[in-house]
Amino acid sequence: MKKIVYSRVFLWLISAFMSIFYDKSHLKGKYFYEKRMGWLWAFKGLPSRLIGKNRKVPWPVSKYCTISNFRNIEFHPDSINIFQSFGTYYQSHDAKIRIGKNVHIAPNVGIITTNHDIYNPAKHVCGKDITIGDNSWIGMNSVILPGVTLGINTIVGAGSIVTKSFEQGNCVIAGVPARVIKHLDIDSNRRMEVDISEKL
């Protein structure tokens, strides 16, 4: 009983302290109150939050992650882990990046809403929103280009360039440009997981 009380008091104190530096609405979800590693990310992100390149971003971000315009990024609290990957680049100058629940993004992934004008590289063309659905996984060194929508349960193979939308989700896409290489039977897989766990 005492351990539970101490744990709750500790979480309250750390939450109150971190609320000084981060927006409280981002200090919630499974990474803060179940897995607890969110608090470690918050501590590690303090130098970047105070004097680094991410000093205006109101949620914990690794110093190795680049965010061009945090105001145009929307994400579920259970996907805050995506801002801890090394070399990730979120370019959202004048269009939105929307990220669902339980998304995973590997290192060196670029999510880009705005391209350079092919006739004048010094200028940018109008941005287009990007949406990544729940339970999606973006593999290492992939690039998601402007206007792309990925449906739920979309896996992007490492090194892929995603130039078009895959709104149906439940698939594995890969290649340059990315194309569907496998459709996922999510319901069947869940039933299989349940059967295996029951046998154990």
Q: The domain containing residue 31 runs over which residues?
A: 1-63
**Residue at 28 is within a domain:** yes
Pick the last residue of a domain from 38, 63, 88. 63
Residue identified by tokens 């110093």 is 63
Weakest-pLDDT range from 53-57, 87-91, 147-151, 157-161 = 53-57
Tell me: do 167 and 76 sit in the same domain: yes
Q: Is the pLDDT of residue 195 over 50?
A: no
Distance CA 141, CA 182 (A): 20
Please check whether residue 47 lies inside any domain of the structure.
Answer: yes
* CATH number (domain holding residue 161): 2.160.10.10
Domain-ending residue, one of 29, 63, 97: 63
Per-residue model confidence as pLDDT tens digits over 60-117: 999 999 999 999 999 999 999 999 999 999 999 889 999 999 999 999 999 999 998 8
Could you give the number of structural domains in the chain? Answer: 2
Give a yes or no: residue 191 inside a domain: no
Length of the chain: 200
Shared-domain flag, residues 82 and 171: yes
Q: Do the domain assignments include residue 24?
A: yes
Catalytic hit among 26, 116, 124, 183: 116
Task: State yes or no: is 26 an active-site residue.
Answer: no
Task: Write the pLDDT tens digit of every residue in 172-191.
Answer: 999 999 999 999 987 655 54
**Domain identity same for 47 and 70:** no
Whether residue 16 sits in one domain with residue 110: no
Q: pTM score, two decimals?
A: 0.86
Verify that 58 and 109 share a domain, yes or no. no
* 3-class DSSP state of 91: strand
200 in any annotated domain: no
For 56-170, strand residue ranges (E) read 66-67, 73-75, 89-91, 97-99, 104-105, 110-112, 116-117, 120-124, 130-132, 137-138, 143-144, 149-150, 154-156, 161-162
Same structural domain for residues 170 and 71?
A: yes
Shared-domain flag, residues 68 and 40: no
Question: Does residue 41 belong to any structural domain of this protein?
Answer: yes
Residue 67: name the closest of 96, 44, 39, 40 by CA: 96
